[in-house]
Amino acid sequence: MTGQVVVVTGGTRGVGAGIARAFLRVGAEVLVCARRPPAEPVQAAGRKAGFAPVDLRDAVAVADLFDAVAARHGRLDVLVNNAGGTPFRLLDDAADTARHLRVLELNLLAPLTASLAALPHLRRSHGSVVMVGSVSGTRPSPGTAAYGAAKAGLANLAASMAVEWAPSVRVNTVVPGMVRTELSHLHYGDEAGIAAVGATVPLGRLAEPEEIGEACVFLASPRAGYITGAALTVHGGGERPAFLAAANANQTEEQQP
């Protein structure tokens, strides 16, 4: 993807930084954007990603950002809508309503805002959008319900965009499972907790950010030229159904007490 221009929202840390590094490794010019700059530049393969500060909730600022990228580089080829996330918060207090709404805004409305701002530039380059969803949007998401609802909506938004914007712009979604980042301890606890959670995944571990990045690179690349409106799940095999462990029938010798 040498010469391709890629914008990764929320690309300063965690999964977003892993995505940015994956694009840097294949030769793309990468710009990461967030409200605050990274502690150190995002880099890989001897190359660095640029940084632009932006509040993705500000439609005018977002439009200005993409106009500036296109003016500077002469093109925009890929938008990766990665910015998002949520703290653990149960749906049990009306005082938290505004906080739940902010989660919806960041994880659903911000990708819509960024995609619409990028669209004119992507049409000129016949580029693509990659949404970063979550398995939380495909199953119940207790403790992060607003986040799960937003990610479910994001998948539908991407599928609808793919139909409306074809054939000039492709739109796909990467659906990560659990990923090990610098914030994993907030969700899974200490190293023992992270290892225990990883052991519930068929592949035996959490994903690394760069592995999500490789999936994004594939969907944005010419090798995926006939793929649009798709959702690529990257979750290590998902979760073994809990009822199988609880049942006392059809167990292997290793599973029997």
Closest CA to 142 of 85, 201, 91, 176: 91
Angle (CA) 132 235 8, round 5°: 20
Buried b (16+ CB within 10 A) or exposed e, 161-196: bbeebeeebbbbbbbbbbbbbeebeebbeeeeebee
Bridge-based pairing of strands 170-176 and 231-234 is parallel
CA atoms within 13 A on the CB side of 111: 30
Active site residue 188: no
Which of the residues 51, 147, 165, 188 is marked catalytic? 147
What angle separates helix 110-125 from helix 145-165, to the nearest 10 degrees? Answer: 20
Catalytically active residues, by annotation: 147
